Amino acid sequence: MAEANKHATGEITAIRRADGESRTLAASLPRLVLEARRIAANVIHGLHGRRRAGAGESFWQYRRFNSGEPSQNVDWRRSARDDHLYVREHEWESAHTVWLWPDRSPSMAFASKQARDSKLERGLIVTFALAELLVAGGERVGVPGLMNPTASRSVIDKMAQAMLHDDSSRLSLPPSFVPSALAEIVVLSDFWSPISEIKTTLAGLSASGAHGTLVQIVDPAEESFPYSGRVEFVEPEGGGIITAGRAERWASDYVARVALHRDQIRAETNRLDWLFSTHTTDRSAAELLLFLHSGMMVSKASAGNATVKAGRSA
C-alpha cells in the first residue's frame, strides 16, 4: 500500500511539473516569437542582396561570357544586342532540409543574474529566428520527432504550436532518426549529457552522411563557477543534490572538467567533419544567428559544387 501511495505521489508530482512547464512555456512563447522575428528581420536586412548564382530557374543577371566555357551557355538573344557574348545566370535554388533541435530539457531553464535569457529562452529564440531565415531562403525546416519539414512562411507559429502541444519527455539530445545525406542538422543544447550519449547520438545522425553543427549554450555562471562558501547544487534532471562547504575550492576542478568535456565533443565533431561552438547567454542572440546562417550557406555552396562536379563527371 505504501509503495502504491509512493507511486501515485510520484505520478502527481510529474503531472504537476509537466503542467507547470507547459504553462511557463505558453506564457513566454509570444515574447520569444516576437524577439525571434525581430532578430531575423534585422539579419535578413543585413544579408539583403547577397544572392548567389547557381542551379535554379529564377533569373538573376547577365554576365560576360568567359573564354573556355561551353558555347551552349551563351544567351544569343541578349548577345545580339551588343558586341559581347553574355551568359544568363540563375539564382541558387538548391533547397534542402534543415533539422533544428532546441534542447528543452529541465537543465535549460537555468539563468543567473548575468544572463540576458535562460538557456531555454536563448535556444528557442535562435531556433525560431533561424527557421524564419531558412524558409525565407527557400529551405525546408523540421524538428526531429516533433514537426515534419516545411517551407511554410508561418514556420515559427507551426514550431511554437508543436512545442506547446508536445506532451513527451523533454530530451536533451535529438531522438534517433535517419536524415537524408544532404540534410543539415543544428543542435542547440547545453550538452551536459555524458560524452558516451553524445557520441551515440552523433553516430546515428551522421551515419547517412548528413552534416551538422552543435552549439553548446551555457550560462555565464556555468563558464566561470562564481560560487563561494556553502552552496547547495541541485541537478534538475534527477541527479540529486550536492552540498559544497567551500564552493570556491571546486572552481579549478570544475573548469578543468568542462574543458575536458568540450575537448571530447570537439574531437568527435572534427572526426565527423561537423562544427562545434559555444555560446553564452550574456552575448547577443543575433551573433549566434549570423554564425549559424553563414556557416550553413558555406556548407550548402560546397554541397552544390560537389553535386555539379559529380554530374559533369558522370
Can you say how many angstroms the Cα of residue 22 is from the centroid of all Cα atoms in its chain?
22
- Looking up cell 530539457 gives 105
CA dist 105 and 112 (Å) reads 17
Instruction: Match 535562435 to its residue by C-alpha cell.
Output: 126
**Residue 157, pLDDT score:** 94
DSSP string, 130-146: HHHHHHHTT-EEEETTT
pLDDT at 55: 44
Which residue ranges in the chain fall short of pLDDT 50? Answer: 1-22, 48-60, 91-94, 304-314
What was the pLDDT predicted at 297? Answer: 65
The CA–CA distances, whole Å, from 65 to 52, 55, 93, 196 equal 17, 17, 22, 54
pLDDT of residue 233: 82
23-53 tens-digit pLDDT? 566 678 888 999 999 999 888 765 544 444 4
- Domains in the chain, CATH or no CATH each: 31-49+94-313 (3.40.50), 59-90 (no CATH)
DSSP state of 248: G
* pTM attached to this predicted model: 0.74
Query: What is the reported pLDDT for 299?
Result: 61
Cβ atoms of residues 61 and 74 within 8 Å? no
**Residue 19 confidence (pLDDT):** 42
- In the chain, the amino acid numbered 63 is R
Q: At what angle do helices 285-313 and 119-136 cross, to 10 degrees?
A: 40
